[in-house]
C-alpha cells in the first residue's frame, strides 16, 4: 500500500510556494525606477520661476491711467522686445530677477551661476515668422554637463510692430498693435 | 489519509486565509505608487502657465478693444488681426487651438447712475490633451459719455 501521509504536506507546500511567488511578484512589480528624465520636479520649479519673471517683466511699472491712455511701450519687456535689446533682456531676466536674492528666485541664488538664456520672438505679419532676441555665447553651448533646460513662453501685447529687427517682412507689418509670442529656453551650462 | 492526525486542519485553513488577506493588502499597496505617479503626471501635464498666459493676452485684447474700438473708432480689422495672431501662433508654436469671444452687451449708463458695467469673455483652449473653457467677466468703469 502506498503511503499517502505526505499528500497534505505537499498541497500545503504548493500553496505556500504559490503565495510566496505571488508576493515576490507583487513586491518586484511595485517598485518603479525613476530616471532623471522622469523627474521634472526641479525643471518645474525653474519653469515656474521663469514664467513668473516674464510676467513681472511684462507688468507696467506705473498703473496710472494706462487703461485709458494707451502708451506704445508700457512694460520693460515690451520695451525690450520693441528695441530687440538682447543685453537688457539678459540683464533683466538673469541679474535683476533670477539671480537676485532680493527678488523672486531667492532659493535659486545658492547655485545661481551659469544660467543661459535663448529667446525668440514669434510674430505674424503677412506670414508667420520669428527673430532672435537673445542667444548665448557659442562657447557656452558645450552640452556635456548641461542639466535639462526648460522652455517658457509669454504673450506680449505691443502697441505696434517691433522695430529694430533685421527682417524685411517684419518691417512691412502694418503699424497696428501686435500680439507676439516670446519663447525663452533656459538651461544651466 | 486516514492515518493522519487531522486536528491541525483549522490552523492550516486559517493560516491560508490570513495569508490571502495579506496578499490582497499587498496588491492595494502595490497600486499606490502607480496611482501617485499617474496623478503627478496629470498635474505636470496640465498646461497651467500656457493657460494663464493666454488669459493674460486675451484680457489685453479685450482691454484694447474696449478702450479703442468701442469708443467710436472703427477698428474691427485690427481686433480681427489680433485674434488671428494669437490663434495662428498658438497653433504653430504651442499646438493649441484657441478661440475667444467678447460680448458686446452693455449699455451706456442705463440707469444713468450706473458707473460700473461688465463684459463677458469666453476663452476656449484645446491642445489635444487638455481642453479648457472659461467664461470670465470683466468689470470696468463705464466710460460712455
Contacts B93 to A, Cβ<8 Å? 122, 153, 181, 183
Nearest CB among B12, B30, B89 relative to A12 is that of B12
Tell me if chain A has a CB within 8 Å of the CB of B138: no
| A150 and A43 Cβ atoms separated by less than 8 Å | yes
Q: What is the CA radius of gyration of chain B?
A: 31
- In terms of domains, do B65 and B123 share one? yes
- In terms of domains, do B82 and B38 share one? no
For B74, the domain range is 48-141
Contacts B23 to A, Cβ<8 Å? 19, 22-23, 26
| Rounded Cα–Cα distance for residues B89 and A128 (Å) | 7
Q: What is the rounded (10 degree) CA torsion for B47, B50, B55, B56?
A: 140
Question: In 10 A of CB B78, how many CB atoms?
Answer: 19
Q: Give pLDDT tens digits for B18-70.
A: 988 988 888 888 888 778 878 877 887 788 889 999 999 999 888 888 777 76
Whether B3 is in a domain gets the answer no
Give ipTM to 2 decimals.
0.74
Cβ pair A153:B50 closer than 8 A: yes
What percent of chain B lies above the pLDDT cut of 70?
A: 82
The DSSP element (H or E) to which A41 belongs, if any, is helix A41-57
So what's the pLDDT on residue A68? 44
Q: Parallel, antiparallel, or unpaired: how do β-strands A178-188 and B97-102 relate?
A: unpaired
More confident residue, B132 or A12: B132
In the predicted model, residues of chain A with pLDDT beneath 50 are 66-70, 72, 104, 109
What percent of chain B lies above the pLDDT cut of 90?
A: 27
With a CB cutoff of 8 Å and minimum separation 6, the contacts of A122 are A128, A129, A130, A180, A181, A182, A183, B89, B92, B93
Q: Give pLDDT tens digits for A93-108.
A: 888 888 876 654 555 5
Tally of domains in chain B: 2
- In terms of domains, do B54 and B35 share one? no
- In terms of domains, do B101 and B88 share one? yes
Amino acid at each position: 500500500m502506498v503511503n499517502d501521509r505526505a499528500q497534505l504536506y505537499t498541497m500545503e507546500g504548493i500553496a505556500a510556494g504559490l503565495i510566496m511567488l505571488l508576493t515576490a511578484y507583487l513586491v518586484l512589480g511595485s517598485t518603479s525606477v525613476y530616471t532623471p528624465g522622469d523627474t521634472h520636479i526641479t525643471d518645474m520649479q525653474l519653469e515656474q520661476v521663469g514664467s513668473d519673471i516674464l510676467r513681472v517683466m511684462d507688468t507696467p511699472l506705473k498703473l496710472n491711467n494706462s487703461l485709458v491712455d494707451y502708451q506704445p511701450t508700457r512694460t520693460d519687456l515690451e520695451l525690450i522686445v520693441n528695441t530687440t535689446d538682447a543685453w537688457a533682456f539678459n540683464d533683466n531676466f538673469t541679474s535683476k530677477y533670477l539671480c537676485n536674492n532680493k527678488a523672486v528666485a531667492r532659493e535659486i541664488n545658492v547655485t545661481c551661476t551659469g544660467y543661459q538664456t535663448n529667446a525668440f520672438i514669434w510674430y505674424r505679419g503677412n506670414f508667420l515668422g520669428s527673430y532672435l532676441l537673445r542667444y548665448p555665447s557659442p562657447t557656452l553651448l558645450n552640452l556635456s554637463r548641461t542639466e535639462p533646460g526648460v522652455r517658457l513662453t509669454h504673450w506680449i501685447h505691443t502697441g505696434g510692430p517691433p522695430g529694430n529687427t533685421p527682417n524685411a517682412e517684419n518691417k512691412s507689418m502694418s503699424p497696428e498693435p501686435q500680439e507676439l509670442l516670446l519663447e525663452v529656453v533656459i538651461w544651466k551650462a | 489519509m486516514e492515518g493522519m492526525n487531522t486536528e491541525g486542519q483549522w490552523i492550516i485553513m486559517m493560516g491560508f486565509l490570513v495569508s490571502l488577506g495579506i496578499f490582497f493588502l499587498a496588491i492595494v499597496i502595490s497600486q499606490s505608487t502607480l496611482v501617485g505617479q499617474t496623478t503627478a503626471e496629470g498635474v505636470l501635464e496640465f498646461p497651467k502657465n500656457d493657460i494663464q498666459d493666454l488669459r493674460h493676452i486675451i484680457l489685453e485684447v479685450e482691454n484694447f478693444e474696449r478702450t479703442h474700438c468701442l469708443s467710436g473708432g472703427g477698428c474691427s480689422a485690427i481686433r480681427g488681426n489680433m485674434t488671428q495672431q494669437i490663434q495662428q501662433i498658438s497653433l504653430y508654436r504651442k499646438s493649441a487651438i484657441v478661440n475667444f469671444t467678447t460680448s458686446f452687451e452693455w449699455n451706456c449708463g442705463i440707469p444713468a447712475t450706473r458707473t460700473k458695467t461688465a463684459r463677458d469673455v469666453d476663452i476656449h483652449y484645446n491642445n489635444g490633451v487638455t481642453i479648457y473653457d472659461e467664461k470670465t467677466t470683466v468689470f470696468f468703469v463705464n466710460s460712455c459719455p
